[in-house]
Structure 1
Amino acid sequence: MFRFEHPIFLYLLVLIPVLAFIHLLLTNRRKKALEEFGNMELLEDLMPNVSFKRPGIKFYFLLLALIVLIFAIAGPQFGSKLQTVKRKGIELMIALDVSNSMMAEDIQPNRLDRSKRAISRLVDKLQNDRVGFIVFAGDSYVQLPITTDYASAKMFLNTITTDAVSKQGTAIGSAINKGIQSFTSDENVNRAIIVITDGENHEDDPVAAAAAAAEKGIKVYTVGMGLPKGAPIPSNNGRSNDFMKDKDGNVVITKLDEATLQQVAITGNGAYIPANNIRNGINNLMDELGGLEKTEFEAKVYADYEDQFQWFVGFVLLLVIGEFLILERKNRKLKHINIFEVKKENKEN
């Protein structure tokens, strides 16, 4: 497992394009100044030992050395082995609606993107808890099995789109049932399911699914994405101001069904969080989840991280030595050697 011990130093990489731009600007100025002074071909004859390419090569050697040095400062490390550790936490399954209605823009930038941002903030607040993702529309699938690897969780989160589930619709009950089945077999672990959707359920009975979860001691929370007044659903053809229409040619308006989501949360012994108060709602949700009794369980993590910066520092030294050995002026003894001219003469013969 690879990681950086001090990843904050990687922000220094923003200096690289700035330095490259400044060098390019100064090089162009120098070239224009020489062109104003006289014809470049004549100037090359008058200055036979001057190289116009070598300063650039030397600069990029140093630039590459700087890039590698920044990586070295960030502290690259490799985890040498997996180790089983004891942790105390809860298990949490997050079910995200990826139906087409989640592309409505009644909350900006759209319901799905706002949902993913909320999940990202929630994952950032987790400590020693297990988390997994379920995506659902007309069907539901496990996108990420339950894990303590939060970095992987956020990576999987970024890949979620409305194409994740081919069958359209909104089957909230199916998502809750899938969540119930997706927890580990560990006993006496507090569990919760968070359903993030616009609530327009068309496929099954989400209240009955929430009741089944509550019977197993699993709390069900709902997060309503959208506004009650609703919004049209953007078409998939990529055209602006083009929306989905029903069979009669009328623009389809998708509305937040708060009543259903509130009933699901009540039945599931959880709470309902409206999208217009998502930030405070997520904080309150984490407070409530934090109040659940933590259970000890085993987790596999990489341990015995070993520093690898010395390899980067060695490469930096090689680059600096290479830059030092490259002279800005041409070598008088070697400047007349031109492999391409020799080949050209042989070809003519």
Structure 2
Amino acid sequence: MIFANIEYLFLLLLLIPYIIWYFMRQKRMEPSMQVSTTRMYMNAPKSWKIYLLHAPFLLRIVTFVMIVLVLARPQTTDNWQNTEIEGIDIMLAVDVSTSMLAEDLKPNRIEAAKQVASEFINGRPNDNIGLSIFAGEAFTQCPLTVDHGVLLNLFRNVSCDMVQQGMIDDGTALGMGLANAVSRLKDSKAKSKVIILLTDGVNNMGDISPLTAAEIAKKFGIRVYTIGVGTNGTAPYPMPTYAGVQYVQIPVELDEKTMTQIAGTTNGNYFRATSNSKLKEVYKEIDKLEKTRLNVKEFSKREEAFAPFALVAFLCLLLEILLRNTVLKKIP
């Protein structure tokens, strides 16, 4: 603990003259009476109040000390600490193409995927988790990190607006999305490395085929779980028109054969997610993986720590007032 205004601690020196003054004053104010002998008072019982005579004085000193400490602003210190935790390395590869706006999952596919994935992240505090997003091209939204607060903040900003605003090309580049996630895991020292690849379409963009990316993942010992999002048949899709948003039924096209091959090549599993509950099956499978130890450097931020001292000062002052006005009340 440190003090931001340490110069206020010099006020504690005022206690020295105050203590001297108190005892000199007590000596002058003690009543006296001359008697021939005090032998008859030797065995007289003493009241318990005698032991509390100096209690208000002690409480006042403690109150003063606590107030000075509050003025000096005690703070916790910034601290770097190396800790060792157990976890696995996971990259989430999420499709953000415009077809993810279909509303066969509620409120739509992309928001349902984000919600369940966020719950998964919150449930695995010891894992290194990163986020890659793709449509017609792919990029890393968040590299591997154990700071899940930052990851979740970045995840909340993921939407299909990136495609609608022309920031990235529309389409489904499964191979590019998978390859981008592999590039973040290839140098990992973890014993278990996992990619969760979520999409609702068929590969139609990109320079790398999905199966080629799967072979690269296999080479680096990465297990890929593929998730196909969408109901069977058709799904309602919000189509903007001059008359407002109109819903049209679009066919649900999933290349389940390719996604099954990707999972099989890397010793993973393919899941068809027609609802949020289906996504949880992926997480149960990941929980069975072997975990590895990770060295993490944690930073503790400096914070104000005056509250306990202020509370002690208030309680001591209150107790002193109660004693002076009840059991130790003086009658002139």
* Residues 1:188 and 1:109: Cα distance change in structure 2 (over 3 Å): closer
Shift of 1:225: 1.1
CA distance in 1, matches of 2:102, 2:112: 11
CA distance in 1, matches of 2:233, 2:216: 31
Give the aligned partner of residue 264 of structure 2: 266
After superposition, residues 329-344 of structure 1 pair within 5 angstroms as none
Contact 1:122 1:286 in 2 (8 A): yes
Equivalent AA in structure 1 for residue 170 of structure 2: Q
Which structure has the larger Rg? 2
* Residues 1:188 and 1:302: Cα distance change in structure 2 (over 3 Å): closer
Give the aligned partner of residue 342 of structure 1: none
Q: 1:240 is paired with a residue of what secondary structure?
A: strand
After superposition, residues 14-33 of structure 1 pair within 5 angstroms as none
Of 219, 224, 230, which residue of structure 1 is paired with 2:223?
A: 219
For structure 2, the residue ranges without an aligned partner over 5 or more in a row are 1-74, 315-332
Shift of 1:304: 7.2
Equivalent AA in structure 2 for residue 172 of structure 1: L
Give the aligned partner of residue 289 of structure 1: 286
Which has the higher mean CA deviation after the structures are superposed, 221-230 or 199-208?
199-208
Q: 2:215 is paired with a residue of what secondary structure?
A: helix
Is 1:256 equivalent to 2:254 in the alignment?
yes
Give the aligned partner of residue 241 of structure 1: 246
Is 1:176 equivalent to 2:178 in the alignment?
yes
* Residues 1:237 and 1:255: Cα distance change in structure 2 (over 3 Å): same
Give the aligned partner of residue 27 of structure 2: none
CA distance in 1, matches of 2:282, 2:252: 26
Structure 1 segments of 4+ aligned residues over 6 angstroms from their partners: none
Give the aligned partner of residue 187 of structure 2: 185
TM-score by length of 2: 0.62
Q: 2:78 is paired with a residue of what secondary structure?
A: strand
After superposition, residues 91-130 of structure 1 pair within 5 angstroms as 91-130=89-128
Contact 2:80 2:298 in 1 (8 A): yes
* Residues 1:224 and 1:186: Cα distance change in structure 2 (over 3 Å): closer
CA distance in 1, matches of 2:289, 2:296: 19
CA distance in 1, matches of 2:155, 2:196: 15
CA distance in 1, matches of 2:212, 2:260: 13
Shift of 1:119: 0.6
- Total equivalences in the alignment: 230
Shift of 1:293: 2.0
Of 217, 225, 232, which residue of structure 2 is paired with 1:228?
A: 232
TM-score by length of 1: 0.59
Give the aligned partner of residue 135 of structure 1: 133
Of 144, 152, 156, which residue of structure 2 is paired with 1:154?
A: 152
Give the aligned partner of residue 43 of structure 1: none
Equivalent AA in structure 1 for residue 230 of structure 2: G
CA distance in 1, matches of 2:214, 2:76: 43
Contact 2:116 2:279 in 1 (8 A): no
Give the aligned partner of residue 210 of structure 2: 206
CA distance in 2, matches of 1:88, 1:135: 26
Equivalent AA in structure 2 for residue 279 of structure 1: S
For structure 1, the residue ranges without an aligned partner over 5 or more in a row are 1-76, 244-250, 318-349
Shift of 1:118: 1.4
CA distance in 1, matches of 2:199, 2:174: 8
Q: Per-residue CA shift, 1:68-122, capped at 9, x if unaligned? A: xxxxxxxxx9772332322221100000100001001122211111110111111
Contact 2:97 2:134 in 1 (8 A): yes
Q: Per-residue CA shift, 1:17-62, capped at 9, x if unaligned? A: xxxxxxxxxxxxxxxxxxxxxxxxxxxxxxxxxxxxxxxxxxxxxx
CA distance in 2, matches of 1:290, 1:144: 22
Give the aligned partner of residue 197 of structure 1: 199
CA distance in 1, matches of 2:283, 2:76: 32
Shift of 1:138: 0.5
Which has the higher mean CA deviation after the structures are superposed, 187-196 or 259-268?
259-268
